[in-house]
Amino acid sequence: MASGALALKVLVIGSGGREHTLAWKIAQDPRVERVYAAPGSDGMAAVAESTGIGVGDLEALADFAAAQEIALTVVGPEAPLAAGIVDLFRERGLRIFGPDREGAQLESSKAFTKEILAEAGVPTAAYETFTEVEPAREFARHLGAPLVVKADGLAAGKGVVICATVEEADSAIESMLRDGRFGEASRRIVIEEFLDGEEASFMALTDGKHVLALASSQDHKAAFDGDKGPNTGGMGAYSPAPVISDERYSEVIETVIEPTVAALARRGIDYRGVLYAGLMIHEGRAKVLEYNVRFGDPECQPIMVRLRSSLVDLIEAAIDGRLGEVSAEWDEGSAVCVVMASGGYPGDYSKGEVITGIEQAAGLEGVEVFHAGTKRDEQGRWLSSGGRVLGVTATGADVREAVERAYGAVGAIDWNDVHYRGDIGHRAVAREKEAS
């Protein structure tokens, strides 16, 4: 269905907090008649009708899109992109937003990403790739600690190990290559130098030629306050990220995003989707830590609540090669997402805990509660059903106000063994205090 048509049906692939946020934003578009989610969740029910189709059942998803005359499919998680869902939909003449299987290697293969970065001349950490234990250990000793050991493939955000000592690196190398810690994903590993500095997330939409950068953001990967503990899928995020100044914002577009899109195009890869650069900012210079090929989670939450423009319009422009003709408008304030997780996450955690206070929290000024891992029982109670359970997101005139609102809402929600960080946005708040 062409851009500008009325009564669009949109399908969102996924069921987590990111997908709830995308469905929420898409449902606000006056042109959208109905939003479906696959598989969807109880938490998304207010904005999207669940189909129950799993993200890995590509044929069933394509059949559904065809049968329901879906005008646009938006893919949330990386796994179906890596599996070739875009290739299949394109073959069947179905409109879908995201890179094809070849382009998705930017996330599904760390080694592929490093090759593209080298071709594009994009700054990144020194590295080598390995499939055997002893050469990997030898390189780690040569590189010296601290260093980073990464599973080459997809490992649900848990395949990156920061090693403070060479002994820790040895352990990580052996667990991945010898013990198959992440299965197929760790048959090959990347070992790279540790980059010091401050991380930032930089997402852009691309139609394969043009680039439309989204608002900057910063994620908090570590499980505990003070950036301590194991890496998670993300414990919170905020937007904008002050570490990305206006000057640096333009610099990242020109030295990172645009050269990467051009390098992909030279390989014949028609990349139409989200290009997400995980950056390390050190002494004013940005280096790429990794690429993702979809919206970040939880960065998507604060970015989408700040986006004033129609997400559907932007996505359709990317699909149609018209991204150079559109722009995005943003709320001038800030937004913060605090992830409420099950105790023990990212390790073992319990499920089925009764959650109270969601409706109360969602009713507070400037607050949206996005569901990442919940379900309703027969009595209508909310239960926890995942590691990351809720993404409590709030807007404010600045980061400090958004943080206060978000944690005010977090304080209204409770369940047995709930865990969340108490310092989301701390760097930005500190910068605001310095500037005032």
- In CATH terms, 197-325 corresponds, of 3.40.50.10300, 3.30.470.20, 3.90.25.10, 3.40.50.300, to 3.30.470.20
Predicted pLDDT of residue 222: 93
pLDDT at 52 exceeding the cut of 60? yes
Gap between the Cα atoms of 431 and 283, Å rounded: 16
And the tokens for 127?
Answer: 């590295």
Gap between the Cα atoms of 109 and 218, Å rounded: 23
Gap between the terminal Cα atoms of the chain: 50
pLDDT at 18 exceeding the cut of 90? yes
Predicted pLDDT of residue 7: 87
Find, among 397, 352, 406, 407, the residue nearest to 374 by Cα. 352
Q: pTM for the complete prediction?
A: 0.93
Predicted pLDDT of residue 5: 52
Look over the chain and give the mean of its residue pLDDT values, rounded to a whole number: 95
pLDDT at 435 exceeding the cut of 90? no
Using CA atoms, how far residue 399 sits from 142, 376, 426, 431, in Å, is 42, 33, 9, 10
Q: Inter-axis angle of helices 133-143 and 166-173, to 10 degrees?
A: 160
Predicted pLDDT of residue 62: 98
CATH topology of domain 132-187: Dna Ligase; domain 1 (3.30.1490)
Using CA atoms, how far residue 85 sits from 11, 38, 59, 68, 299, in Å, is 13, 13, 9, 17, 23
Whole-angstrom Cα Rg for the chain: 21
Peptide bond into 30 cis (omega under 30): no
The predicted-structure confidence for 80-135, as pLDDT tens digits, reads as follows 999 999 999 999 999 999 999 999 999 999 999 999 999 999 999 999 999 999 99
Task: Name the pLDDT band for 221 (thresholds 50, 70, 90).
Answer: very high
Indicate the domain borders of the chain. 9-97, 132-187, 197-325, 334-435
Long-range contacts of 86-92 (CB under 8 A, 24+ apart): 86/273, 88/58, 88/59, 88/62, 89/62, 89/65, 92/62, 92/66
Predicted pLDDT of residue 230: 87
Contact 122, 182 (CB under 8 A): no
- In CATH terms, 334-435 corresponds, of 3.40.50.300, 3.40.50.12780, 3.50.50.60, 3.90.600.10, to 3.90.600.10
Average pLDDT over residues 397-420: 98
Q: Report the alpha-carbon angle 268-274-278, nearest 5.
A: 105
The predicted-structure confidence for 183-204, as pLDDT tens digits, reads as follows 999 999 999 999 999 999 999 9
HSE toward the beta carbon, residue 173, CA cutoff 13 A: 26
Predicted pLDDT of residue 21: 98
Task: Name the pLDDT band for 274 (thresholds 50, 70, 90).
Answer: very high
The predicted-structure confidence for 308-325, as pLDDT tens digits, reads as follows 999 999 999 999 999 999
Q: Which ranges of 28-70 would DSSP assign to H, the alpha helix?
A: 58-67
HSE toward the beta carbon, residue 170, CA cutoff 13 A: 7
Q: What is the CATH number of domain 9-97?
A: 3.40.50.20
Predicted pLDDT of residue 3: 45
pLDDT at 1 exceeding the cut of 60? no
> What backbone phi and psi angles, to 5 degrees, belong to 332?
-75, -15
And the tokens for 377?
Answer: 């029982």
pLDDT at 368 exceeding the cut of 50? yes
pLDDT at 2 exceeding the cut of 70? no
Average pLDDT over residues 62-67: 98
Predicted pLDDT of residue 158: 75
Gap between the Cα atoms of 281 and 424, Å rounded: 19
Q: Inter-axis angle of helices 17-27 and 311-319, to 10 degrees?
A: 100
